Each structure stands twice: as structure tokens, then as C-alpha cells.
Structure 1
């Protein structure tokens, strides 16, 4: 299949073509979250199986997507968007909090969102890995947005006198890797801790990065 089929136009059952297309796409993504994020996983799911799970036809699949990889790419972006939107919505309420408490709000919100559904963790940290250069580029690009968030928080903390001034991009990149790894391992049952304890550990690690032993406020 070299490209998507042309979707029908006009109104049907009281819905416009655009509304019907959005509904079909949502149904395919909902089905993909179940099949890719649980059993059987992305690599052994077929177009026919996904279409059946969505209650749609394979023809309708090709009206929305070219390949199953396109579905995984869209689902990966959606899962990341959910987490990013949750964190962004939580930030205003934490605006005037001290650094440690603000960091706790960010990590608690992020952790609660991505761990609320184990399928989201599998999509983000497992199924997306090694599929293709295109998806690897997308994965790293989305991770870079979280790095940007940490760097922005670090710069703001420096301006408030709560953190040591330096370029934090390298440290933030390493830290985001540890965040993702710890949450994945916790969700898999490999970490004997509560989610609150995981968040507390992440806050301690971030504070250690932002406030090295040789630094002191106003120093």
C-alpha cells in the first residue's frame, strides 16, 4: 500500500466527513493503545486485527493511515501530549512554591499521568524503541521537549537564587533518562517503592543537580 485511500466526503448520519474521519481515527488509536500497549504488542499486530478491534474495515484503515507504524507514531505523540498537557496545567498552581515543592508537583503530575495506564508506559518506553529511524527521531524529539522543560525550570531557579548558574542541558538529558527508566522499572514491578517514594527520589536527584555541594545561595 503506497498511500492512503481517499476518504468519502459529504454528510452522513448527521456527521460531516471531517467529524467521521476524526471518530475513525480515534477508534483506531483507542484500539492501538490496547493492542500495542498490551497484547500482542506492536510488532505482532496486523492491520486486520487492529481494524477488527476498532470495529472498522481495513479499507477505512487505509483512509486514515498508510502503515501500522503511522499508527504507532500517532499514538506515541498522543500519549506524550497527555502527559505534557497535565504538567503544563499543573505549573501555574506551583508558580510561587519553593524549588523542591515545585519539582515535586511536576514529577508527581507526570508520574501520575504516565502510570495511570500501564499501556501508556509500554507505548512510550518499550514499543517505540528500535522500530525505525523515523520513530527513533520522533522519540528523541519528544524527549528533548522534556529536557527543555527541565532546563527552563533550572534557569528560573537560577534567577530566583535557588540553583547554581550553569548550562543544564547535558545534566537534564541524563536526568530525563533516569526519570523514564525509574518509572518504567517501577511500573514493571522491579522497584520496591510507592509512587510517592519514586517521586521523592527524583526530586532529591534533581536538587542534587541544581545545588551541588560547593554551591550556596548567594555565593
Structure 2
């Protein structure tokens, strides 16, 4: 389809056209979260089945989106935005706490948000992978935001004397890869562990990255 159909204008039922459009879009995204993140998954969903799940028509779908890929793209960004909001709130709440406590609180806030719904896990770590070059680029761009956040926390810790002043980007990239891989495999049932155990392991990895170098095995402190 070359473009979206024109949405109706004017007020109806006490709501403006913009309000009705926002409600329709929200219903499509809610239905997509369940369909893409559960059964039948993104690749098994059609415009007709998604519209039926949302209680709307295919015509209304094309008033809001061009393709199902557009829906998945928006949903992926939304799930990540929810997690980022949780992380930012945890960072504010943990202000002034020691590095280990602060880092653990921030990551646990992320994990609690993204794993609060199995559908969010699948959207973030499973369904988005390999769909198209466009979505691969979006996924990597969103990953880069998380890497930047870890690097900013590490740099701030170093400035406070709680961490080593070094370039953390490579370590942060490796950690995000661990998060994506482990939560993907856990979601697929390939990891024999509880979600709490998975999160605990990832917290340990994060703290190992942020630990000052003199506290690492073989460092000056351990050699004394």
C-alpha cells in the first residue's frame, strides 16, 4: 500500500478525531503486544487477525500503519521506553548510594520492568531479531542507548573514586550482549534457572565490570 488512508475528522461521542485515533492506535499496539509477544508471534500474525484481536477493521489498521513491521517497530521502541523510564526512576532513587547497591538497583529495575510480562521479553529479545535490515538497525541503535547508559554510570562512578577511570564501552557492549543472549535463551526455555537466578547472574556480571581494577584478582590490592 502506497500510503495510509485518511483518518476521519471532527468530534464523535464527545471525543476529538485525535483522541479517537490515539485510542485506535493504542488498541492495535495492545493487541500486537499479545499477538507478537505470545501466540502466534509476529511472523504468524496477519493484518486481518491483528485487527480482529484489536476489535477493529483492516481499514482502520491502514489508517494508522502501513505494515505489520511498522507496528513491531513502534512496539519495540515502546517496550524499551517503559524499561528506560523504570531505570531512570531507579537511578534517581539510588542517588548517593554506594556503586554496588546503585548498579544492582538500576539493573533490577530494568529486569523487573522488561520481564514483568512474558510478551515484553519476546518483543525485546526474540521477535525483533532478523525481521529486516531496518529493524536490525533499530535494535542495534536501541542497544547503543543502553551501552551509553552503562558507560555514563561507570564514568560517574570513576569521578567519585568508586571505579577505575577507563573506557568501559567494550565491557558494556559485552554485558548488553550477555543480557540479550541470556534473557532470549531463558525465554525460549533453554536455560534451566529461575528468572531471579538469571537476574542475579547478570547483576554479578555488571558489578564485575564496574569494580575498580585494583579489586580484581591479581590486582595490587589482592597482591598485598
TM-score (ref. length: structure 1): 0.94
For 1:67, the equivalent position in structure 2 comes to 67
Partner of 2:149: 149
Q: Deviations over 1:56-105 (max 9, x none)?
A: 01110000000000000011011111111111111111011111111110
Higher alpha-carbon deviation: 203-212 or 5-14: 203-212
What SS does structure 2 have at the residue aligned with 1:4? Answer: coil
Moved over 4 A (4+): none
Q: How many angstroms does 1:215 deviate by?
A: 6.2
Distance 2:188 2:31 in 1: 22
List runs of 5+ in structure 1 lacking aligned partners.
none
Map Cα deviations across residues 94-148 of structure 1 (whole Å, 9 max, x no partner).
0111111111101111111111101111111111111111111111111111101
Counterpart in 1 of 2:82? Answer: 82
Q: Which residue of 1 aligns with 2:22?
A: 22
Aligned to 1:130: 130
Cα deviation for residue 182 of structure 1 reads 2.0
**Alpha-carbon distance in 2 for matches of 1:146, 1:215:** 31
Instruction: Give the 3-state SS of the residue equivalent to 2:20 in structure 1.
Output: helix
- Residue matched to 1:118: 118
Separation in 1, partners of 2:38, 2:115: 14
Any unmatched runs of 5+ in structure 2? none
Q: Do structure 1's residue 8 and structure 2's residue 8 form an aligned pair?
A: yes
Partner of 1:44: 44
* 1:51 Cα deviation from its structure 2 partner: 0.5
The one of the two structures with greater contact order (alpha-carbon pairs below 8 A, sep at least 6) is 1
SS at match of 1:207: helix
SS in 2 for 1:83: helix
Aligned partners of 1:103 and 1:161: how far apart in 2? 15
**Counterpart for residue 204 of structure 1:** 204
Three-state SS of the structure 2 residue aligned to 1:90 is helix
1:83 and 1:181 map into 2 onto residues whose CA distance is 17
- Work out the number of aligned pairs and report it: 216
Deviation larger for 53-62 or 185-194: 185-194
Q: Does the Cα contact within 8 Å between 1:130 and 1:136 map onto a contact in 2? A: yes
Q: Is the 8 A contact 1:95 1:102 kept in 2?
A: yes
Q: 2:190 — aligned with what? A: 190
TM-score normalised by the chain length of structure 2: 0.92
Q: Partners of 1:204 and 1:59 in 2: how far apart?
A: 50
State the 1:190 CA deviation. 3.4
Conservation of the 8 A alpha-carbon contact between 1:115 and 1:187: no
CA distance, structure 2, for counterparts of residue 192 and residue 130 of structure 1:
25
